[in-house]
Structure 1
Amino acid sequence: MDDVPSRIEHTVLGPETTPNDVRTLLDEASEYGLRACIPPCYLEMASEYTPEVELATVIGFPHGNNTPEVKAQEAVDAVEAGADELDMVVNVGRLKAGDDDAVQEDIEAVVAATTQPVKVIIETPLLTDEEKHRASQLVAEAGADFLKTATGFGGGGATVPDVELMSEYLPVKASGGVGSWADAEAMFEAGAARIGASSGDKIAQEYVDQREE
């Protein structure tokens, strides 16, 4: 897995995230060859600070219950500010209510707003297995590029069974609670194409260390 660093999205998305926090994360991402996932408000600064780092940002974060029109405009603004990829949150309430058409239309609005890759966070800790299957199918039918497990703010994170389930539909970004190379390796082996982690630098260093043993 020589491409491991490029499959890790080093992440800082907390409510107290400062510009300096983002610069520190970008320095680490640049050092290890990682991608970065940052708040939308810092995209312009980040794209100028480390133009070599691929940038993802979030749409409708963290609850996903913005209107489709607002999410679509967020996507347009994010791409104009320098985002290379977009991680949008599904409307969990609509999904749980069985309003599948509204869920799919919400995703389609963001997909249609940009040519950049769209990952859809289905917030697996809040869903039953039936809902995970249904959400994954809707995301695939809406034309998104990736499924993503969780925001990290919904009471849980990525699990091996969820990654296995979701990877039946689309490439998966495993995010939430992935804090070590052992965790990341388990997710990759379960079928994850990407890892999202606030400790991406630690994971990358542990990966390098075990290769050198």
Structure 2
Amino acid sequence: MTRSDPDSYTARELASHIQHTKIAVGTTRDEMLTHLQEAVEFGFDAAMVAGSWVPLAAEVLAGTDVSVASALDFPRVGVMTSAGKAAEAAELVRLGAQELDMGVQVGWLRSGDYAGFREDIAGVVRAAGVPVKVMLELPLLTDDEKAAAVELACEAGAAYLKNASSGAIETANPESIRYLVERAPAGVLVKASGGITTRGQVVELLAAGAALVGTSAGISIVSDTSDDSTTSY
């Protein structure tokens, strides 16, 4: 068996690559506590939560191997000011976030404002001081814009490149992941995101070079009961 075979991974091995995501509007405290407990029980890489739940996540996950992850300028990507984004990054880290996923100013990139696009990311990287994953929204970009986005994000200090912010932009696929892996310099990793609902998808994305995947379907994936009815980010 090769590592492209879904059966070649144990549930725990797959979980170690999954960032267990719960960012739904209206999530209750009890629902969030369950989410965090699941992250520990199944051995997920991180619990991805909305910023308002970071303090609770930091409290519950303290002393475990599960990281506290959050996102900014998301799910409506590219609507925050750069200063506001950097300030939120610093606040989330103060509250206990250990890594951040961030939306980018796609409109600035498409307008040719490469300096602004790069500095928007760099400001978050400087303010956070923790690994920052940059959502590049590849399907919205031309070939030249994709290449520029990768280069600028890496120059700005991105720790991870992401193909998209959610399944509304792109269902994560091996082609997009390979595109990023082939262009990322040493030390910059790739996270797959968007529409990831099955064990087979996760294994394909890992085989393409993704280090992490983000999904809200993690439990069904590692339990091999996954289907296409679960949202993914």
Structure 1 length-normalised TM? 0.90
Residue 116 (structure 1) aligns with? 130
Residues 79-98 of structure 1, C-alpha deviations (whole Å, 9 max, x = no match): 11110101011111111112
Assess if the C-alpha contact under 8 Å between 1:75 and 1:114 holds in 2.
Answer: yes
Comparing 127-136 with 72-81, which one deviates more in the overlay? 127-136
Assess if the C-alpha contact under 8 Å between 2:168 and 2:194 holds in 1.
Answer: no
Percent identical pairs in the alignment equals 39
Residues 23-74 of structure 1, C-alpha deviations (whole Å, 9 max, x = no match): 2221211111101111000010111123222111001112123111111111
Residue 60 (structure 1) aligns with? 73
1:46 aligns with 2:64: no
Residue 37 (structure 1) aligns with? 48
Residue 118 (structure 2) aligns with? 104
Q: Displacement of 1:126 after TM fit? A: 2.1
Which residue of 189, 200, 206 maps to 1:182?
200
**Number of aligned residues:** 207
Q: Give the distance between the partners of 1:156 and 1:140, measured in 2 at CA.
A: 21
Q: Displacement of 1:153 after TM fit? A: 5.9
Q: Displacement of 1:4 after TM fit? A: 3.2
Counterpart of 2:151 in structure 1: which amino acid? Answer: Q
Residue 210 (structure 1) aligns with? none
Counterpart of 1:185 in structure 2: which amino acid? Answer: V
Q: Give the distance between the partners of 2:211 and 2:59, measured in 1 at CA.
A: 27
Flag structure 2 segments of 5+ consecutive residues without an equivalent. Answer: 1-8, 226-233
Flag structure 1 segments of 5+ consecutive residues without an equivalent. Answer: 208-213
Counterpart of 1:87 in structure 2: which amino acid? Answer: D
Q: Give the distance between the partners of 1:61 and 1:46, measured in 2 at CA.
A: 18
Counterpart of 2:136 in structure 1: which amino acid? Answer: I
Map residues 52-201 of structure 1 onto 2, 5 A cutoff.
52=64, 53-62=66-75, 63-152=77-166, 154-168=168-182, 169=184, 170-201=188-219
